[in-house]
Every structure is written in C-alpha cells, then in structure tokens.
Amino acid sequence: MSLLEVKNLGITFGGLHAVEDFNLTLEKGDLYGLIGPNGAGKTTVFNLLTGVYKPTSGTFYLDGKELKGKKPVDINKAGIARTFQNIRLFKKLSVLDNVKVGLHNSMKYSTLTGILRLPGYFKVERAMNEKARELLHVFELDGEADTLASNLPYGKQRKLEIARAIATNPKLLLLDEPAAGMNPNETNELMETIRLIRSRFDLTVLVIEHDMNLVSGLCEKITVLNFGTELAKGPTEEVLKNPEVIKAYLGE
Amino acid sequence: MSKNQPSPLSQKKQLRPVTKKNLVTYAIVIVFFALFQTLTVTGNLKFAYQSLLVPICTNVIMAVSLNLVVGVLGELSLGHAGFMCIGAYVGSFFSVVTEELIPVTWVRFTLAFALAAIAASIAGILIGIPVLRLKGDYLAIVTLAFGEIIKSLVNVLYIGKDSNGFHVSMSSSGLNLLEDGEVILKGPQGISNTPKDSTFLIGFILVMLSLFIVTNLMDSRTGRAIMSIRDNRIAAESVGINITKYKLLVFTISAAIAGCAGVLYSHNLSSLTANTNNFGYNMSIMVLVYVVLGGLGSIRGSVIAAAVLYALPELLRGLADYRMLIYSIILIVMMIVNNGAFFLKLRAKIAQSFRNSLQKKKNEKEAA
Amino acid sequence: MKFLSQLISGISLGSIYSLIALGYTMVYGIAKMLNFAHGDVIMIGAFVVYTACVTGGLSPVLGVLLAIVVCTILGVVIERLAYKPLRAAASLAVLITAIGVSYFLQNMALLVFGSDTKQFSSVVSLEPVSLANGNLVITGETIVTIVVSLIIMIALYLFVNRTKPGKAMLAVSEDKGAAQLMGINVNGMIALTFAIGSALAAIAGALLCSAYPALSPYTGAMPGIKAFVAAVFGGIGSIPGAMVGGILLGIIENLSKGYISSQLSDAIVFAVLILVLLLRPTGIMGKKINEKV
C-alpha cells in the first residue's frame, strides 16, 4: 500500500479553482518535489493536505486512512507534519521549547502532574529534554538550545522548523520552500540534512522548492503545477526537459 | 558560542533559569509579607496602611490570574472582575449561611474558597466558548459584556432562607419567606454581615498558592502548549496542539483563581455590593493595567505592578484631589516611554554608546 | 402606543449611541486602536455646554458650537500627545494609554467641576409634539436628536464617499503604507479623523445631557462603553455598521427597559451583543478576515 494517496483533490475560493484535480501517490521513503511558478497552488496543496483548508472535491489517504475534512491537529496526529513558507516559529519560546512543543503528543503527563510537580513531571521532562536535544543535534542547533527562537538567524530558523515538525514523529514531512533565502553552501548542507533525516527517521518527504539545484539534486520525482492543475509529473530529469514546463517557467 | 553553554552534566546540578526566576518571585513576596506583618504586629504600621494589605493581596492575585489569559495565552480579556464578583458572592453567601453550622473558621473558609473557585471556573468555561470563535477586539468586547452581565445579575438577585429552604427571586417581595426567614442576598444591597475572615496571612498564602499554580503551569508541558498558541496558532495546530482544550483550560484556571480573590475581597468587608468600581469594567481595566505595566507573561512583573499601583493612589493621598490625576499622567507617560518609537530608539542609542565605551576601555586595557 | 413611544425614544437614544460609535469606529478604522477615552470627550463636551449656557448665559446654539470647537481641539491634542508616539507600538500598549487618557479627563473634570451631579438644562427649546389624541407624546429632545443625527450621518456619508479628503481617509484605513505611497498625508488624515470623531462626541454630549439631564465627570463612561458595543455590534471599522449598531442598541435597551426590567436592560443589551457576535464573529456589517497561511 502507498503511504500517501491523493485523489482528484481540489478547492475553489469564490469560484476560482485554486487547485483542481490534484493526484499524487507517494511510496514510503520517497523524496518528492512539487514545483511550479508563483501562485500555481503549491502551498494550497500543503494547506489541503494538513487540514488548514477543507477540500471542495476529491480526497486523500495516509496509510490507507482517509484524512479528508479532518482538522489540522488530527492530521498531525495521523502522521503528517509540515513547515511553512513564511516561517512560523514560537518566537517567544526557546529553541529547545519549540521542539518540546513538537513532542507534546508523544511524551505526556497531566496538567495537574505539572502544577504539583509530581514525579511524572521530572521523569517525562528529562526524557523530553534528551529527545529534543538529540533532534537539535541533528540540525546542529544544540549550541542554541536556550536562545529565543526569534533571535536565531534566518537559516537556523528554517532548520528549527523542520526539527519541530520531526518531533511530532510524522510518517510524511511536507517542506514548504526550505531553501528560501539560503546561499548555495547552505542549500547543499540542507540537502544533506534532508537525506539524513529521511533515513534516520523513516520519513517520506514532499518538498515545495524554487531552487532547481535542490530539486534536481534531491528529488527523484516531481510534479509541476501551473494555474492549480498538474502540468507534468515523473522522474525529475525528464520533467525538467519537458518543453511545456520550460514554457510555464520562462514564458513564451 | 557553544563554549559558553553549560554542558548537560553541569546543568543538572545548577538551577534552571526559569526555576531561579520563580524562586526570586516567591522570595520577594515572602520578604514583603514578613516585613509588613512584623510592622503590623509591633504596631509600627498606621492603621490606614494596615487596611491596604489584604486588598493588595486581592489585586496581586487578580493580576497574576489575568496574566495567564492576556500574557500567557495572548487573549485580551476586559471582564476579569466578573469572575471575582462570582467568587465574592458565592463565598460570602456560603459563609453567611453556614456561619453557625460550621463554627471552625478555617474549615468554613476553605470550603468557601473551594465553592467559589468551582462557581467561577464554570463561568470561565461559559465565557471560554465565545473565546473559541472570536478574536482580538471582538473577544475583548465580549468579555467586557460578560463582566457587566454578571454585575447586573447579582444586583437584581434576591435569595432568602426559611425553614422550607432557599427562595430565589428578582424582587424582595417575590421571595415569599415564612416568618422565620431571612434575606441573605438583597439585590442592590448585596450581602451584609459576611464574617471578616480574611487576614494578611491568608492573603499571603493565597498569593503564594496562585504563584505556585501559575508559574508551575507555565513551566510545564501544558504551559508550553498554551504559549505556542499565543506565539503562532497555526503552527501550534500543525504540531498537534488542541487549541480548544487549552484555551478553555486557561479560562477555567484563571477564573477559579480570580474567584478565590473575590472570596478574599468579600471576607474583608462587612457588606458586599457590586458596582462599577469593584466588579465592573473599571476593576477589570485596572487589573489589565497592572498586567500590561508589569509586562505580559511576566508573573513577577504582575505581582510588583499590582502591589505598587494599588498602593500608589493611597500613598499619594497627601496630594488629595490631584492624586488620580497624577496617577493617570504616570500611566500615560510610562506607556509612552516603554513603548514609544522615539524612546525605544533613544534607549537603544544609549545602550549602544554604553557598549562602545566599554569596548573602548577594553581595547585600551589590551593595548596597555 | 406604549410600544411606539418606546420605539421612538429608543431610536433617539440609539442615534446618540450612533454618533458616539461613529467616533469609535472611524478612529478604529484608521488608527487600529480602541480609543477608550472617547466617552470622556462626550462628558467634556457636555461640561462646556453647561458652563457656556448655564453659568455663562450663552445661547444653546453658541454653547454647542463652542463645545464642538473645544472637543475638536481636545481630540487632536490627545492624539498628538498620547497616541502618536505609539503609532508603531502593540495595540495593547495603545489601549492602556487610552485608559490613562480616560482617567486623566475624568479626574481633570473632577478637579475643575467637582464631583456633584449638575442639573443640565436642555439645549432644545422645541415643544413636545402630541399625537393620537395625546396618547403618544414625543419630546422636542427626541425629535431634534433624531433629525440632527440623521443630518450628520448623511453629511458624514457624503463626506467619506464623495470628497477627496474623505476618500483619502478611507484609503488610509484600508492600507496605510499604500496610501502614503500615493502621496496621502497619513498623519494629517489620522488627526482629521480624531477631529471629526471628537466633534461628533461634543454634539452627542449636548444631546445626551439634554435628554438625560444629569452631568458628572463619569457621565461619559457608560454611554462610551455602550457606543463601543454598538460599534462592535455593527462591525468595528464600518461607518454604516456604527450607525445601524447604535440605533439597534438604543432600541433594544429601551424596549428591555419598558417591557422586561430597567435594572436588567444593560445585561440584556450585552447578552444580545454576545449572541450576535457568536453568530457573526465580526459584527453585522464587519468584514470577514482570513489569515493567510
């Protein structure tokens, strides 16, 4: 069974088809790219897959479980985590606490245990700290564990967002322009990190990206969106040679 | 950068910064209590100032509990006095009714607190429901409306007791009490003869308890979830934080604590009535002023701001009619100095030149 | 007949709320702040009329004109001194400052005029109109209030939608940055908004105290809060919303006073507000705001 199965997914905003008839099948472990010009509906696809928007047509399944119409919280619990194009960190929390919020549903103790400082509090907090630091280490953020998230430089903020998403223990990770604002060196590093986390955390990754180096270096397959519909789909090399795709990107 | 970070090993032995911060807050409260209790016992505190002590505790508790909503959850509430009102009336009612039944003061008083906290937290859940649908200024106006509704309701409510039990009505004649009956809640006249059980010691204990609850809550899994909603609701949802649950939880806990502040307030007075200044929007706004001036999310700030700002008009009493005018000017000036673009720039400039001069000295030293 | 008379006085009270709510809503629209001191500007306006007419012996029309001038200046000065330095600050900081201004105005009035309630003499000299064989009496105050409010609202509507400064005001409330790029003087427009809002507050103060002739430094507080409710009711930031919201609020308040309980009328008004907002979270005419993800 495929990990993610998207069937004819679509949404209209006031008569405008923002995304129409979107189909996608991801196998476990895939590194898949979603590209297209600005306004093609890529982020809208993410918003549909994470429950921020309710689809007006079609449906999608994760591990055979239908998730259409579910709330973002339940979709995350089912195993989809994401990052955001315009970084959305918990700015007034420390870097460590940002990741610990991600661990919220996998490591638990009750509110009362927390207030009364019962033994469970110390035990779980210790485990959470360990796990969170482990994740920060993967992204080379362990030195900044106690820094406020808003004080991190831009590139590290993007990494922290990925770390937080992985903390929720997802099966499928959606990355929305992870390399935006990074220089070529940082982008290469990021590619390494993404490959690393895929194998280390058993992830399937769907990534939106404008940086063609990252897309061709990282993704085995891609889908090209234009005006909310699929323009091409297949192995990255082939699709990028497709004249239709070149036309959509470069214009007539 | 990483060299300055304490290694995980040394960190276990040291107190975490959060814990340290909270301990300092507790210490401030304890020192304040010890100082003024000693002054009172040794007869060195004027009676006029003694009478401020319990109200200061009430205001501190109100500010701490409101900070949980405004500073920690990030929702503006203008109706916090409503919860205090419910607590005050429920607590007083219970104490008046059971004064002969339960002669042991601490048992009766503890029960009064418990009942008031429950009643106020139910109201907290009720107001929590619109909170889930509304945002920003719309939410603020609904909480304001809610506080006013509570104040109006207790002003038209009559409750009496006779050998048949309790009678509730909207007018004193509607109670139809038997000869042996007495009216306990008398509409706009409120409740009289509440036992004067509140003391500075009890106020102090209650302040410590609310600090314990709020600071421990903030530094826990639940607290992080609440703050994540404040910082970015959409991101919080995306990592599986149940917004509804935590918003309701915050309103419930905050309301329960405010309800206890109400009990402390009402058992410090011989007669309890509800008006704009004690339970209306004036009070709610006053508490909000404490929270904002003390710093959003800073519990210690709330404690200090509430104590100082509550006492300030009393201490300015020598200036008679000018005191509230001065208070209002201080408030405006403080807000502008703390938040105005001009002063923020000025401060940054001063800090920068200070740093430069430090650097210069350092360089000179190294050169020498 | 009782219903009709309650309804008419409700519309009259509601028109006053509308005038105040317009000040709230315009300021909110353009400066994105809740001007909590707005209610106290009404009180100052009423005191100016009182001083000019009762103490100074001026004619009511001159008194009201003087109040308009004083309040307009007051509004602009408040904006310049207290709110302008906070243009970029968090909305909560501005809200607390506005509360400080409100305390300031109340205590200033307390100092100057004393805490005792003054008997306001009506600025309206129109005789009551008796209809339906004396079963329905409409006071001169009611008629003047409704007529004056109607004229002001029409004038304001025309000003905002038909004149250049009015359109500039709308532009600033829509998008400050873009308006500035188009060469609109944003600070000037904000000052103008405060001036108009405060002038309306002066008129509202004179009308309010003519209908309910008790004047004290706290007179403005409750009508201020109610007008704020009215503005939210109609959808804050929306000018027609403030008009409709104010009138509806006045009607609801008066009908509950007449038919349910005068002590509970405020509670009923607030309860209706909560219900309305639960059904329409941004008020009757408010715009729906979608957050971009």
Cα distances (Å, whole numbers) of residue C78 to A90, B160, C20, C48, C188: 36, 50, 17, 17, 14
Give the β-pairing of B182-186 and B158-162: antiparallel
- Write out chain C residues lying below 8 Å of A52, CB-based: 293
How far is Cα A6 from Cα A22, in angstroms, rounded to an integer? 7
Q: What is the percent of chain B with per-residue pLDDT over 90, rounded to a whole number? A: 57
Tens-place pLDDT, residues C115-173: 889 888 888 778 888 877 777 888 888 888 999 999 998 999 899 989 999 999 989 98
Q: Is the dihedral of CA A63, A66, A67, A68 positive or negative?
A: positive
Report residue C289's pLDDT band, with 50, 70 and 90 as the boundaries.
low
Testing the interface with B: which of C87, C96, C225 to mutate, by most B Cβ within 10 A? C96
Residues of A whose CB is below 8 A from C293 = 43, 47, 52, 84
**ipTM of the modeled complex:** 0.93
pLDDT of residue B33: 96
**Quick check: C171 and C182 in contact, CB under 8 A?**
yes
- CA–CA min distance A46, chain B (Å): 11
Residue with tokens 């209809």: C131
C57-71 average pLDDT score: 93
pTM score of the predicted model:
0.89
HEC-encoded secondary structure of chain B = CHHHCCCHHHHHHCCCHHHHHHHHHHHHHHHHHHHHHHHHHCCCCCHHHHHHHHHHHHHHHHHHHHHHHHHHHCCCCCCHHHHHHHHHHHHHHHHHHHCCCCCCHHHHHHHHHHHHHHHHHHHHHHHHHHHHHCCHHHHHHHHHHHHHHHHHHHHHCEEEEECCEEEEECCCHHHCCCCCCEEEEEHHHCEECCCCCCCHHHHHHHHHHHHHHHHHHHCCHHHHHHHHHHHCHHHHHHCCCCHHHHHHHHHHHHHHHHHHHHHHHHCCCCEECCCCCCCCHHHHHHHHHHHHHHCCCCHHHHHHHHHHHHHHHHHHHHHHHHHHHHHHHHHHHHHHHHHCHHHHHHHHHHHHHHHHHHHHHHHHHHHC
Q: Which chain C residue shows the shortest CA-CA distance from B76?
A: C92
Per-residue confidence band for C41, with pLDDT thresholds at 50, 70 and 90 = very high
Interface test with A, best of C288, C290, C293 (most A CBs within 10 A): C293
Question: Which residue in B198, B206, B210, B192 sits closest to B67, CA to CA?
Answer: B210
Comparing B2 with C237, which gets the higher pLDDT?
C237
Return left, alpha or beta for B240; rule: phi > 0 is left, psi -120 to 50 is alpha, else beta.
Answer: left
In C181-206, which positions are buried (b, 16+ CB within 10 angstroms) versus exposed (e)?
Answer: eeebebeebbbbbbbbbbbbbbbbbb
Q: Please determine, for residue B6, whether its predicted confidence score (pLDDT) is greater than 60.
A: no
- 3-state secondary structure labels for all residues of chain A: CCCEEEEEEEEEECCEEEEEEEEEEECCCCEEEEECCCCCCHHHHHHHHCCCCCCCEEEEEECCEECCCCCHHHHHHHCEEECCCCCCCCCCCEHHHHHHHHCCCCCCCCHHHHHHCCHHHHHHHHHHHHHHHHHHHHCCCHHHCCCEHHHCCHHHHHHHHHHHHHHCCCCEEEEECCCCCCCHHHHHHHHHHHHHHHHHCCCEEEEECCCHHHHHHHCCEEEEEECCEEEEEEEHHHHHHCHHHHHHHHCC
> Higher-confidence residue: C193 or B342?
C193
For chain C, say whether A72 makes contact (Cβ under 8 Å).
no
pLDDT of residue B175: 81
The answer to whether A106 touches B274, Cβ cutoff 8 Å, is no
In percent, the amount of chain C with pLDDT more than 70 equals: 98
pLDDT at position A58 over 60? yes
- Residue spans of the domains in chain C: they are 14-221
Indicate the burial class of B282 (C-beta count within 10 angstroms; 0-12, 13-18, 19 or more). middle
CB proximity list for C5: less than 8 A, separation 6 or greater? C136, C137, C138
Which residue of A103, A104, A129, A152 is the best one to mutate when testing the B interface, meaning the one whose CB has the most B CBs within 10 A? A104
**Residues 149-168 of chain A whose Cβ lies under 8 A from any Cβ of chain B:** 164-165, 167-168
Closest CA–CA distance from residue B226 to any residue of chain A (Å): 10
Supply the pLDDT for residue C5: 87
Mean pLDDT confidence for A60-68? 95
Q: Which of C39, C42, C23 is nearest to C31 (CA)?
A: C23
Residue A147 near residue A155 (C-beta atoms within 8 A) = no
Instruction: Give the separation between CA B284 and CA C231, rounded to whole angstroms.
Output: 20
Work out the minimum CA distance from A160 to partner chain C, whole angstroms.
18
B236 vs A105: CB contact, 8 Å cut-off? no
Q: Is the alpha carbon torsion for A167, A168, A174, A180 positive or negative?
A: negative
For residue B10, pLDDT over 60 is answered with: no
C-alpha R_g of chain A: 19
Q: Is A139 on the interface with C (CB under 8 A)?
A: no
Residue A28: is it exposed, middle or buried by C-beta count within 10 angstroms (0-12/13-18/19+)?
Answer: middle
Q: In the prediction, which pLDDT does A251 show?
A: 66
Q: Which residues of B touch A90 (CB under 8 A)?
A: 227-228, 231-232, 235-236
Residue A216 has which token pair? 């061709």
Q: In chain A, which residues have their Cβ closer than 8 Å to the Cβ of B216?
A: 114-117
Q: What is the pLDDT of residues B274-324, one digit of tens each?
A: 988 889 888 998 899 899 889 899 999 999 999 998 988 777 776 766 777
Q: Is the predicted pLDDT of residue B4 greater than 50, yes or no? A: no
Q: Which domains does chain B have, with CATH numbers?
A: 17-315 (1.10.3470)
Q: At residue A38, what are phi and psi to the nearest 5 degrees?
A: -55, 140
Contact B222, A116 (CB under 8 A): no
Q: pLDDT tens digits for C71-81?
A: 999 999 999 99
* Average pLDDT score over residue span B111-123: 97
Mutation test of the interface with chain C: which of B335, B342, B347, choosing the one with the most C Cβ atoms within 10 A?
Answer: B335
Digit-coded pLDDT (tens) for B157-208: 999 988 888 888 887 777 888 878 888 999 889 999 899 999 999 999 999 9
Phi, psi of A62 (to 5 degrees): -115, 120
Query: What is the number of other CB atoms lying within 10 angstroms of the CB of residue B187?
Result: 18
Phi, psi of B68 (to 5 degrees): -60, -40
Nearest residue, CB atoms, C89 vs list B281, B325, B340: B340
Kindly identify which residue of chain A lies nearest to residue B229, measuring between CA atoms: A90
Report the neighbours of C using a cutoff of 3 or more CB pairs below 8 angstroms.
Answer: A, B
What is the spatial distance between Cα C274 and Cα C272, in angstroms, rounded to a whole number?
Answer: 5
* Residue B70 touches partner A, C-beta closer than 8 Å: no
- Sort out which chain B residues have CB atoms less than 8 A from C273's CB and list them: 141-142, 145
Return phi, psi of residue C187, to 5°. -60, -40
Neighbour subunits, B (≥3 Cβ pairs < 8 A)? A, C
Q: Which residue has the tokens 């606490």?
A: A97
Picking from B32, B67, B66, B68, the residue whose alpha carbon sits closest to that of residue B52 is B32
Neighbour-count burial of C281, counting CB atoms closer than 10 A to its CB (0-12 exposed, 13-18 middle, 19+ buried): middle
For range A204-229, the mean pLDDT: 92
Assign B327 a pLDDT band (cuts: 50, 70, 90). confident
Q: How confident is the model at residue A14 (pLDDT cuts 50, 70, 90)?
A: confident
| Chain B residues with CB-CB distance to C279 below 8 A | none
Count CB atoms within 10 A of the CB of residue C116: 8
B6 Cα to chain A: minimum distance (Å): 10
C274 has a chain A CB within 8 A of its CB: no
User: Using 50, 70 and 90 to split pLDDT, how confident is the model at B86?
Assistant: very high
Chain C 133-172, residues with CB within 8 Å of chain A CB atoms = none
**Residue A252 confidence (pLDDT):** 52
The single-letter code of the amino acid at A139 is F
**Alpha carbons A21 and A38: distance in angstroms, whole number:** 19
| pLDDT tens-digit series, residues B16-41 | 888 889 999 999 999 999 999 999 99
